[in-house]
Each structure stands twice: as C-alpha cells, then as structure tokens.
Amino acid sequence: MFYAVLEGLRRFKIPHSFKFVSIITLYARWIREGRLKVDPSWNKEGLKVTVQDPCKLVRQGLGDQVAEDLRFVIKAVVGEENFVDVYPNMSNNYCCGGGGGSIQAGFREKRMRFGRYKFEQVAKTGADIVVTPCHNCHTQLIDLGTYYKGKFKAVHLWNLITKALVR
Amino acid sequence: MLTEKIREIAKKLLEEGKIEAFLCYEGTSHPFRNRAVLVKSPEEVKKLLWPSFGVINLATPLQKLKGQKAGILATGCVSRAIVVLIQEGQLKREDLFVVGVPCPGMLDPSKVRDKAPEIIDVIDDLKDEVLIVTPEDKIKFSREELLRNNCQECRHPVPPLYDLLLDFSGREKSPDPYRRVQEIEDLTLEERWQWFEREVLRRCFRCYACRQACPLCYCPTCFVDDSRPQWVGKTRDLIDTALYHLVRAYHLAGRCVDCGSCEAACPMDIPLRLLTKKLEKEALLAFSFEAGLDPEAPLLFTSFDENDPEDFMLTSELKASGKI
Amino acid sequence: MGAGSVLVVGGGIAGVQAALDLAAGGFYVHLLERGPAIGGVMAQLDKTFPTNDCSMCILSPKLVEVGRDLNINLLTLSEILEVSGEPGNFKVRIRKNPRYVDESKCIACGQCAEKCPKKVPNEFDRGLSQRKAIYLLYPQAVPLKYAIDPRHCIWLKKPGRCGFCAKVCPAGAINFEDQPQELELEVGAIILAPGFETYDPTPLENFGYRRLPYVMTAHEFERLLSASGPTRGELIRLSDGRIPRKIAWIQCVGSRDINRAKVPYCSSVCCMYALKQALIAKEHIKGPFEAAIFYMDMRTMGKGFEAYLERARREGVRLLRSRVHTILPAEEGLLLHYVDEKGNLKDESFDMVVLSVGLKPHPTLPSLSQVLSAPQDEFGFLETRLLENRPGVFVCGVGAGPKDIPETVVEASAAAARVENLLAEARHTETREKTYPPERFVFPEAPRIGVFICHCGINIASVVDVEAVTTFARELPDVVYAGHNLFTCAQDTINRIVATIKERQLNRVVIAACTPRTHEPLFQETLRAAGLNPFLFEMANIRDQDSWVHPDDPERATQKAKELVLMAVNRVRLKRPVPLATIKVRRAALVVGGGLSGMQAALSLANQGFEVALVEKSQELGGFARRLFREVYGKPLKVLAEELAAKVASHPRIDVRLGVTISNVEGSVGNFRTTLSDGNVIEHGVVIIATGARPYLPQGRFAFGYGEDKRVKTLLEIDELLERKDPLLKELRQAVFIQCVGSRNEEHPYCSRVCCTHTMEQIIKLKEINPELEIFVLYRDIRTFGKKEILYQKARELGAVFIRYTPERMPQVETKEGLKVLVFDEILKRDLVFEPNLLILANGIVPDAASRELAQFYKCATTSEGFMLEAHLKLRPVDFATEGVFMAGLCHYPKFAEESLSQALAAAARAATVLAKEDLPAESLVAQVDPRRCTACGQCVALCPYHAPSLEEVRPFGLVSVINPSLCKGCGNCAAACRCGAIQVKNLEEEPVLAAVEGSFGRIWY
C-alpha cells in the first residue's frame, strides 16, 4: 500500500499537500533524538541479524536514505557487532522474488525458483535472523527458508524494536 | 606469272606518279639469294621479280623512306609488320601504297644449300615443286620440304592491309602453327636449357644481325648499347647472350609477326624465331591477341580488360596446374 | 592582431584539425591547451575503429604539423581568464602557467625525470602507472618538452630541497623562477573544442570499480593496450601480472542510465570501442582468449561500423544482450550473474571486466562556459546551432555532445568554415610565410652523405642494433657523417640535423627510420631549412620493413638494416637536385549537386569570397530536402531548403547551372576543366561532390506488403501525413513500425543511421495527435545515439511497446485478408499477431547509381556499397584520396540533415585550404622524356592515367613524346613501358634503382 500511494502520486502527478515519510525514517530520527529509547542488551546470545531491502521501499520507493535509516535502527536495537550486511545491498539489493505480494497467492514453485538467489544471499551471511520491513518479503523469506532448508528466521522490524524498548 | 604482275603494277604506279619509289626484290648472281631493291623510275622495273628467297622483311628498309610516298610488295608478314609500325607511329598510312600478294610461302636458302654440292639454279613453280639444277642433274623436291619454317607455320598468308591485292592464290593457313614450339615445350626443364645453350647461346657471337633485320627493332638506342646503366654485357658470356636474346624477345612480345628475318639474317643458323613464336602463342592463348591485323586496334600492352586472365600470376592457380 | 587571427581552445583532435584548416586557409591561429602538450584523449587510445589504425600513427603527423606551422601559435599550459568584445573583435586575456622548463633549451633527453625522486600517479595512464614530478606527458608529445608539476615538485613546495633535475640537465633548461604570464590576444573569432572526460563509475557500487580487483574502465583498458602504456601493451592484470583469458565488457556504464548514474543520453562510441577493444585484446594475447560484451542495443551506425560488427562476430567475440546486475568477487577472478536471451540464469566467471564508461563534459567546462558566456545544454555540454554557440563563438567535438572521431573531425573543419565565413575579409592579413635559405649549388661537389639512424623510441631499437648500423654506415664510401638519435622526428633532433648538414657541408642525406609516409615531407623541409634541395634525400625504412616484421630475429634484422642503409646510400649518391614544382590555383570551386549539402557548401565558399559554380541535374535547387518534413534547427527542412535555395540563387558569386550533368573532366587539383552536358566548360580549382542518395524502396524480402496494401507506408509518407494533419491519423487504433527495412542485410550491409530516430520522432508526434494510439515497434537494435536517446525514452514513456526481432526470424506481413503482422517475440517466446491500421516501414537510404559514375570522372573511388570513399575513414572524412576533390552529404553515407549541413561546411573549409593559396606544390618527381631516344610509338600516351604525355613536334628531333609536368603524378607507368628507355622519372631513374638492387646484395655502386 505504501508503494501504491507513493507511485500513484508520482506517476499521475496528483497534487497533494501532505508529506510522505516512512515509519523507518521516523524510528531512526526518534532513536537519534532519544525520544525512542532502545537497548540492545536483550540480545544475550549474540543472535546475528541481517537485513532485506524491499524493492518497493528502497529501490523503487524512497531510495538509499531509507535503507541507511533501516540499518541504523537495526544496529541500534540488536547491537552493531551483531549486524551483518548482505551484498549487493541497498538500492542494488536483489529482489526477494515475492512479486510485491502479487504472487503470494499460489505459484509456489515459480516463487521459490525466483527467490533462490535471495535465499543464497541471506544464507551466506550466516545470520540467524533476517529483518524485513515488508510483509511480502517476510512471507517470501519464511517460505524460502523452509523450502531450501535454511536456518534463518524472518522477523519484522517492529518485533525487534519492542524487544529492545527500554521500559 | 607473279613476276610479270609485279612489274606491271610497279611500272603503272611509277608512271602515274602515285608513288615516288617502289620497294621490292631483285635477283642476284647467286641462285638462291634475292636482294631488296628500290626502283625510282618505270625503266628500272625490269629488275623486279617475285622473290622465292625474299627472306628479309621489306618493312625494315621501308622505314628509311620516311617522307617519301613509297610502294611496297607485301606478303602476309610484311603487311602485318607495316600494320604494327603504323600502330606505333613509325609509318604513316597515307605515305604507303601497299601491293599485297597472297603469299605462296618462300624457300629457305639454308635448306636448299645442303641439297647439292654445286647448285646452278633453283626453279620454283610457286605451287608444289622445286627443281634444283646442278651441273649434272635436275633434282625434284616438294616445295613443302624446302619452305621456310615460318612459312610452314604461317597463319596469315594473305596480307590484312593493302591498297591493291594481286590476283594470285597463295598458301592456306597453317593448321599447326606452334608445332616446333610445342616440341620444345614438351622437353623437360633440363633439356630445354640444354637446347637453348646448344642452339642459341653457344653459337651466337653477338653480331646483332637479327636486330638489324627485324622491322620492329627501331629504337635509336638499343638496350644493349646502354652503358649507364649497362643492362647487358657485350661479351659472349652465356649469361650476357641469354639476357640479350630473352630481353629482345620480350621487347617483341605482342608485336612480332613471325616474318623470320631474324633467323634468315643470322649467320649461325640460330632458330631465333622460336623464342618470339612462343610469346606469340602466349599472347594468343592468354589474351586472344594477334599482332599486326588492325591498324586502329590498341597494342597488346596498352589495352586492359577487367576479364584478363590472371592464372599465370596467381600462386594458387600456378600450384593447382602444377607449374610451380 | 585582430580579425585575421582566431583562438582555438583545446588541443585535442578537434582543436588540431580546426587549427590546421584555419592556418591553411590564411588565418593566424592561437591554439590554447590546458595541459603541457596537445593530443587530447585520442593520444591515449591504442587502435581506432573501424580501421584498427594505431591512434598515435594517424594523429602524430597532424600534431607535428601543428608544432611546425608558422601560423599556429601553440599556447600550452594556458587558460582563459576573460573574454570581451564582439565577433570580429574579441579581446581575450590568457594566463600561461609556468612550465618551469625553458622550451627553447629542453632537448627532452629525459635525464631530469630519471633523477627526480618524486613519484606521482600518471594521469595520462589514468593512474595505472607513475610518473615523476618532472615529466613528459607522453613519448610523442608535441611540444616534446618536459614540464614540472607544481603540485608535486619538492623544490617548488620547499625551495632549496631537491632540485636534482636542474643539476643534471645538460641544457640548463630548468627554471624554478618561472612565473605565470598574462597575455592579451586580439582575435576575430573563437572556436571551443574542450573535449571530454569519461564517466567515473565509482558511485555505481554494483560494478565494483575500485572495490574489486580486475575491474577497470575502458579508458584505463585503452592505456593497458597501448605500447606507451603501463605494460608496454602487454595485456596482463595489473594486480597479479596474469594474462586474462576471459574478459567481459559491460556496456552503458554512465550512459542511458536515468536511475543510478543519472546520465540519460547515449555516449555514441562505447559499442564500437568495446568491439574494438575485444578484437585488439585478442591480437595482443597469445593463446586462448574469449571476449564477451554485455549490451542493451548494439549501436554501430557509422560508416564501416556494421561491417566491423560482423567482423567481430566472425572472429568469435560473444555478444550477449543482457544487463549485468552486479559484479561479484570469485576465486582469482570475477563472477557475473546474468540472464541470457533465452531467459536462463547464468553464472559465468571472467578474469577481468571492463566497464564501457560514457563520455561526459569535461569538469572545466562550467568555468569555461562562464568565462565565455557560452551557454550549456541540459547535460552540461556546450549548446550549438550549426556549430555556433553565441555570435563569434563556435563549438566542435565532444564538447558539444558525445560523438566519434570522424564526426569530430567534420565538426572541427565545419567550425573553421564558419569562422572563415565570418572573417572572410581578413584572410591572409596576419599570416606569415615560411622562408628558406637559398639552395646550395651542389652539382660540382663530390657526394658528401650524412646518415641519421633513428631509434624510434623502442620501435626500432628494441630489435635492431642501431649502434652497429651506425658504425657500418660510417665506413661506407662517401659517407662523411653517421649518427643515431632517439626520435628523428622530434623538433630538437631536426634542429641538430640542420646544424650537422651545415657543419659537415653534407650534400646528400639518408634517414634510416620509419616509412616515408609519416615524415618524408618533414625531413625534406629539414633539408630545405639547411639550404639543400629537398630531393637529395632518401629514407631507409628500418621500422615497418624491418624491426616491426622481424621482432624475433634481432641479428638478421640488424643485418637487414645495414643492407637497407647501403641501398639508400647507393641510391642517394646518384640523386640530383630537382626544382620544386608548383601549380597555379584557379581560385574558383565547382559544386556538383544542388541539394542541402551542395547549397550549404556553395554558400559557405561564396561567403568566404570565392567564386562558385553549382551544377544541378534537375531543374530546381533543394534536392530531397524539399520533400522532407522534419524540423531542423527549429525550421521544417522544406523551409530551410527553400531559404538556402533563395540565398544561393541570389548570391553574386554563385553561378547556378540547372538541368545539366557532367560529361567530361580534365586536369587535377588547382586546375580542373569540367565540361557540362550542354557543352559549356567550367574552369575551377576544386570540386565538391554532393550528389545525395535515395530512399530505399521496400521490395523483395523487405517489401512487407508495400505496394500491395495502402495501409503499408514508409516513414517519409507518414511525415507527409503528419505535415498536412491528415484526419486519418486521429482515427487510428493501432500502428506498427518495422525497423531496418532494407538496411543491415546482404544487399545493403550497412546501417542507415537515421531511421530509429525518425521513428521515435514520429511516435512522439503521433501520440500528441492521438494519445490512445497503440504503437508497436519491431526492431533489431534501437540506435538513437547521443542526445537522441532522450527521444527513445520519451517514446517509451508515451507507451510505445518495443518488440525485438532477429534477422533469422523476420516479421511476416500478410495482406490477403486484412493487414496482419506476425512476429516472434524473443522475450515472451511466442508468436504475436497484430492487425494494425497502419504499418510503417522504416526504410533505409541507398546510394545513387549516378554518383558512382560521377566519381569516376574525378578519378575517385567508391565503397563496395556504392557510397563515396573518403581518403581516410577517421581523419579525412570529407576528402577524397584524389587531391582537390571533396564530398558532403548523403553521397558519403546516410546521415541527418544537421550532419549533412555540418559536413558541407567541412568540405568548404577543406576546399578553402586549396583556394586560399595562389599556388600549390605540384609533384616535382615527374617523368621526363629524352627526345633523342624517343620514337613516338605512343605507348606512354595510351598508358598514362592522367593524360600527361602527348606527341608533339620538337625540333630538331621531330615527333616525340612530351610530358606535361603539372599533370604527371610520377607513377612511372610510362617509364616502365618505354622500350627505348626514353622516359625516366626524376630521381627514380634506372641507375639509382639498379644501385639500390646492387646494394641489397652488399655491393657498392657508383
């Protein structure tokens, strides 16, 4: 929905008076300003965390800036030393193969085939968790993990933030 | 008879002032030698005769008559030599009155002289028979046997250029003009060189009679006489002699009309005409070219056609035909 | 100084060409270059497409000419501070930055650089190697003088420290006190040729440039291939020294990229240079080698380029239509993931990847633009309108937009023409003439031969033992001097030769070096400068005919060099002085063809002050342009053509002859006599051929229903419909375009260049009238090169769908029951059937048969396709090989109207280099007849292709052949044919030839 609104405004040049901002950018800003207090010490086992750059959010959406913010937030909530990036990354990252949600309904074989590179890329990092702020990528990555028998779990960003919230 | 016809026409032309002089042959004290002669008045025409032994091409002395309106007795080869000279700007057509004769062929003095120790006379019927008169006898020979080699191989007995053609039936075209050339071609390379060395190089003593007799050797300074640079040595060294003959033959390629004057003039009986005959064959086969037939046509080496054959110079073709 | 002089900014090929044309045309030129030497990017290239000529070999003669031309003032290390004034009267303030080396003293011996301790990255080698703080830009630099880089020099940063260079310089040329100088120039016009920089792919992280080893830009790769580069041309990976057996090229890096690099235009040259690099890399590497080029569209639309593409294919260069996502590291190499044309995902490893980087405006352009108030376009290049940026300021080359070298050279000459137009009255007012000392009368002297042997850097010396050859030469009879030097063509060596000739009273000179084709005129000039007749000279080619062909056998190569020198000595001993011949120039031009190019060329020449005769075979001027409706420089072409026609018809110096053709031509450059079909004769000094071409009529396999169904039309017919706003267009539902109709096939194996752009322009217009129109374009490669790429982007944005087809599976058109177009879609892997209301065929351009015949009249050549053949595809694109004959427009090759206009101007500038002179040097080494030996046989007259000999009465010899020296070109056919040995070519007589032959056997000849 995020992308639909964003691109719709852009392509059809619909005049609007509101600003379009991703929650991730707000997370990053709030963490920097100290308004959102997070503490990575919950990660006692030193779970390794990597990241997915959703196509509609980063490459086709708001660009490298939001990808930078995403990484900042993740590092802040799991600990910088526990973060491992993928390559290629940010605007150049591979698509997960989930088709922006359009092929979640069926086409499993094709979807798994399209997502093989993404699986290999994530598996190569050796991470236990892959964070993805897109629920389509989330579903796809979980399915990929099962299909290709990987060890990682896909987790939404807000999950980790709640874990790291300082009460 | 042919002699009568010749005298008649010469007299007429001189009387009518159509020509200033007539170039033809006369007899000599020797039974089988004829001599070129230039008659300038009607009274002198009684000297003239049909030369059974007219072995030097009249086109050679004709070039000395520049500026004069001259008549000339022309057989096939004489006429063709005149054509080449016109093509090469050495003679002007309008200065000539060519009396053409369909040639019956001429006899070879060097063949006749071997037939008897003493010969008093030679009677030529201009058709099939020749009678050689000795003090004791009259021996009959077939004309063909005593004919000059170039006449035996002649392809153009009828002159292509003439102002008047005498009524006479001469020889037929030779069916096998390159027979003698073929004989040499059939030899191996070794044998060919041996032939060349034996027949040509060892005999030649560089008298240049061949060059002087040839109607087409008219360069003011012959290559042989150049000293800076000196192309060919003047010695009897085999290489020098070989170079002289080969270069001369090439200078005549596409021009020589096989009149045989070179061989006839040679005091050592060297079969010179075979060198140029070979080149004549090449010109014919490669370029369908024959010298001296049409004064308006271009010369062999100043004409170019995109379809000219190249097989003689392309390595691939030479290899394929086994030539190299 | 004023209107008779011109400022040319930029010392690359564009600036050099413009400077040379202007100087030859009678103007004084200030050639300004930022760096320490001229040459530009072209000097950095190894080989150039499509001829695969060595770049330096074809460039350096022009550079040397610039260095030697009295009328070109070379201002290196200079920049413009301020410009004021107006066209005809500009005042330019220039700062000449200090070189710190005295140019008049430096002999480029290289000792300073050897001793200099400071190593810095070599920018000429794109950082792949190092140079010293005191350096020569490249080995063949003009001027060949060292310079100190103030950013890195130890002394200049801290005086008193170092200074080793000054201590070792044998000429005392180092000058640390050198100061910037300010000069003020008064010029009539300014030409900007600022050149370009290549795109830096560092921001494109996915390509791993500067992150992964074995990834380099094409610009760097070019240096790697170069013999003057970091590895002397050995193709190895710089990081580990291994030979790369598999190299991939990735196209469109920094071009056609609106998302990441944000450079929307196409750089025009990268497809060709990648093909070239792939072919040349193959030559450099012994053993197995594979090249793969990853591309989107293969843009080989220039003359000879399509054939080059086919050649690359035949030689096994793999062409993969695929865009690589990321370059990944692999064991000892690189890994490329890509999807092939069949849709399969592939992984392939390569030893090296070359990024085909695009061309972008030089970083100094914005400040240049500001100082000159020269507006830039949206991409940062300089704006131009038929080469003019603003009044009096002209732009040529890549500074105005990406283009290849032939186009650049055309623009440079065209800019020169525009300047000559503007400043026509001031021609010859500020130029100087070269004077020579009087010629020494050498005839009574014994021969005194000097032999100068060249190292040619390492070209000769790496194989031939130059010392040994020199010693050998010294011992030969009549040789009084023998010496060797590094670069004989360098200015300082030339000066030393002049001095040696004078000191030793030499009267014959032998130079053992390269081929006479590069520097013979230079060396002959050198003899003149020393007071010797220039024909007392002989060259021994110990490079092309020795060191270059026998690199594996130095011993025998040295022996051969000795023999070659002996031959040359034998020859030169016998040479005699020959007077220099000239031809008087008829200062009028003939232009054949009254179309767009013909009219523009005629107008330019007439405005420059020359008389022009314009011959046109039809009854009106304008040519095909009258039937075209494209817009050029804001005007419909038809209108532009009519305006030009009106100007031409009313111009007092243009004599228009309509309804006539050429029936005979005699003479040669400077002195032509052309007979027209109506019997009139025109006498002129030069001729410009602008006979145009025709549109291809779809036929045979490429008919696609044309002529059978009236819904099938050509591009030109659609133009007409658009022009008259035909209501049919609004009612259309679907239109299909088929590209490459009649081009890029067996019958016409070339690209017609304009059709892709034409199609895009039409799509944009059609969509304006009918936004709902469905448009499908069936194409093989989209060739909207340069800034025209924007049109392609627009067409796609507007919704046109592009479907690729291959020549093996041509689209089929059926017209029996309605109009059907069938095509196999390579991506969907399915057959598609269209039923459009309109099928538009993008038909190509084919040469005019009549042009071929015309070319023969002027003894000019045509290509196998039937277009005119220029003297050199790269550096002489408007000249024929025959002197004095030039070409312009479509008869040269299909091109845009703007390009035709440019080329017409270029032809005018080139023609002006002849017409500006009173006389031209004629061939001096002509054939002569010795009348004593001539028998007037006429063979020479029949054989001569130039009709030089004729038979004439000459007393007291009678009729002999006489050769007209102004027609004779010295070919020697007559000399070879003359049986009597009467004809000799001067200084090429039989004696010197035989002397040379004897020399090849080791024998002396007197």
Delimit the CATH 3.50.50.60 region(s) of chain C: 1-97+180-195+362-435, 199-359, 584-692+848-915, 700-844
Q: Is C997 on the interface with B (CB under 8 A)?
A: no
- Range list of β-strands (E), C910-995: 919-921, 927-929, 949-954, 958-963, 983-985
The architecture of the domain spanning C584-692+848-915 is: 3-Layer(bba) Sandwich (3.50)
Which homologous superfamily does the CATH classification assign to the domain defined by C1-97+180-195+362-435? FAD/NAD(P)-binding domain (3.50.50.60)
In B, which residues are within 8 Å of C994 by CB distance? 229
**Residues in chain B closer than 8 A to C942 (CB atoms):** 298-299, 302
Contacts 24+ apart (CB under 8 A), C382-387: C382/C192, C382/C194, C385/C633, C386/C418, C386/C633, C386/C898, C386/C901, C386/C902, C386/C905, C387/C411, C387/C414, C387/C415, C387/C418, C387/C902, C387/C905
Using the Cβ of A119 and the Cβ atoms of chain C, whether some distance falls under 8 Å is answered with no
Considering only residues 288 to 317 of chain B, which have any Cβ-Cβ distance to chain C shorter than 8 Å? 298-299, 301-302
Determine, for residues C935 and B90 on separate chains, whether the beta-carbon distance falls below 8 Å: yes
Interface check for A126 against chain C (CB to CB < 8 A): the answer is no
Residues 6+ apart with CB under 8 A from B80: B156, B159, B160, B161, B257, B259, B291, B292, B293
- Cβ <8 Å between C205 and A94: no
CATH class name, domain C700-844: alpha beta
Domain map of chain A by residue range?
Answer: 2-164
Q: Do A92 and C337 touch (CB under 8 A)?
A: no
Using the Cβ of B220 and the Cβ atoms of chain C, whether some distance falls under 8 Å is answered with yes
Is the Cβ of B219 closer than 8 Å to some Cβ of chain C?
Answer: yes
Radius of gyration of chain C from Cα atoms?
30
Q: How confident is the model at residue A103 (pLDDT cuts 50, 70, 90)?
A: low
Q: Report chain C residues whose CB lies below 8 A from the CB of B253.
A: none
Q: What angle, 0 to 180 degrees and rounded to 10, lies between the N-to-C axes of helices C405-422 and C13-24? A: 40
Cross-chain residue pair A91–C260, CB shorter than 8 Å = yes
Q: Contact C11/C39 with Cβ under 8 angstroms?
A: yes
Residue C824 in tokens: 């196999």
Check CB contact under 8 Å for C936 and B302: no
Tell me how far CA of residue B46 lies from CA of B54, B211, C25, in angstroms: 17, 31, 80
Q: Which fold has domain C449-573?
A: Rossmann fold (3.40.50)
Question: Quick check: B219 and C933 CB within 8 A?
Answer: yes
* Amino acid residing at C764: I
C208: left (phi over 0), alpha (psi -120 to 50) or beta: left
Interface residue B323 vs chain C (CB under 8 A): no
In this structure, which topology does domain C98-177 adopt according to CATH?
Alpha-Beta Plaits (3.30.70)
Topology given in CATH for the domain delimited by A2-164: Rossmann fold (3.40.50)
Residues of C in contact with B85 (CB under 8 A): none
Average pLDDT in the B27-31 region? Answer: 91
3-class DSSP assignment, residue A99: helix
Q: For residue C291, list its beta bridge partners.
A: C247
Given CB atoms, is A117 within the 8 Å cutoff of chain C?
A: yes
Chains that touch C (3 or more CB pairs under 8 A): A, B
Measured distance CA(C224)–CA(C211) in Å, rounded: 19
Set of chain B residues whose Cβ sits within 8 Å of the Cβ of C990: 229
H or E segment to which residue B182 belongs: helix B179-185
Stretch (H or E) spanning C348: strand C345-350
Q: What is the mean pLDDT of residues B283-305?
A: 89
Task: Check C932 against B251: CB less than 8 A apart.
Answer: no
Handedness of CA B130, B131, B134, B138 (dihedral sign): positive
Cβ A94–C260 below 8 Å, yes or no?
A: no
Chains that touch B (3 or more CB pairs under 8 A): C
Q: How far is C384 from chain A (nearest CA, A)?
A: 33
- C interface residues, A as partner, C-beta within 8 Å: 205-206, 260, 325-326, 328, 337
Determine whether the interchain pair A88/C205 forms a contact, defined as Cβ–Cβ distance below 8 Å: yes
List the 904-933 stretch of C: residues with Cβ below 8 A of B. Answer: 932-933
Please confirm whether the linkage preceding C771 is cis (ω < 30° from 0).
no
Answer whether residue B290 shows pLDDT above 90. Answer: yes
Could C938 and B228 be called an inter-chain contact, meaning their C-beta atoms sit closer than 8 Å? no
Shortest alpha-carbon distance between residue C261 and chain A (Å)? 12
Contacts with C328 from chain A: Cβ below 8 Å: 87
Cis ω before C50 (30° cut-off from 0): yes
Give yes or no for residue B286 having a pLDDT over 90: no
Residues of A in contact with C253 (CB under 8 A): none
Residues of chain C found within 8 Å of residue B299, distances taken between Cβ atoms:
939, 942
pTM of the model: 0.80
Question: Which residues of C are less than 8 Å from B302 in CB distance?
Answer: 939, 942-943, 977
Class of domain C927-985 (CATH, top level): alpha beta
User: In this complex, is the C-beta atom of C937 within 8 Å of any C-beta atom belonging to chain B?
Assistant: yes
From the candidates A92, A113, A114, which should be mutated to test the interface with C, based on the most C CB atoms within 10 A? A92
With bands split at pLDDT 50, 70 and 90, how would you rate the model's confidence at A104? Answer: low
Contacts of A92 in chain C (CB under 8 A): 205-206, 325-326
Q: Which residue has the tokens 């009236």?
A: C710
Tell me which of C937, C944, C960 to substitute to probe the interface with B (most B C-beta atoms closer than 10 Å): C937
Residue to substitute from C209, C253, C326, C327, interface A, most A β-carbons within 10 A? C326
Q: Which pLDDT does position B13 carry in this prediction?
A: 93
B91 CB neighbours in chain C (<8 A) are none
Whether B contacts A, i.e. 3 or more CB pairs less than 8 A apart, is no
Q: What is the pLDDT of residues B101-128, one digit of tens each?
A: 999 999 999 999 989 899 999 999 898 8
Whether C942 sits inside 8 A of B223 (CB atoms) is no
| C206 contact residues in A (CB cutoff 8 A) | 88, 92
Q: Is B221 on the interface with C (CB under 8 A)?
A: yes
Structure confidence at residue C415 (pLDDT) = 97
Chain B CA closest to residue C1005: B229
pLDDT digits (tens, 9 = 90+) for B219-243: 999 999 988 888 899 899 999 999 9
- Tell me what ipTM this predicted complex has: 0.86
A88 preceded by a cis bond (ω within 30 of 0): yes
Residue B320 has pLDDT above 80, yes or no: yes
pLDDT at C1: 61
Q: Do C326 and A88 touch (CB under 8 A)?
A: yes
Q: How confident is the model over B14-25, as pLDDT tens digits?
A: 999 999 999 999
Residue with tokens 């050649």: C311
Interface C:A, ≥3 CB–CB pairs < 8 Å: yes
DSSP summary character for residue A149: T
CB pairs A-C closer than 8 Å: 12
The series of mean pLDDT values per 10 residues for chain C, 1006 residues long, is: 89 97 96 97 94 90 89 96 95 97 86 94 95 94 93 92 91 92 96 96 93 95 93 91 96 93 96 96 91 97 95 95 92 91 90 97 94 95 93 96 96 97 93 90 92 86 93 95 87 88 96 87 91 95 92 94 95 93 93 96 96 96 88 88 95 96 88 93 96 93 92 92 90 96 94 96 95 96 96 95 94 92 91 95 91 82 89 92 91 95 97 94 91 92 87 92 88 92 91 90 79
Q: Is B17 in CB contact (< 8 Å) with chain C?
A: no
CB contact (8 A) between residue B220 and residue C981: no
Indicate yes or no: CB of C326 within 8 angstroms of CB of A91.
Answer: no
Closest C-chain CA to A59? C259
CB contact under 8 A, B301 and C990: no
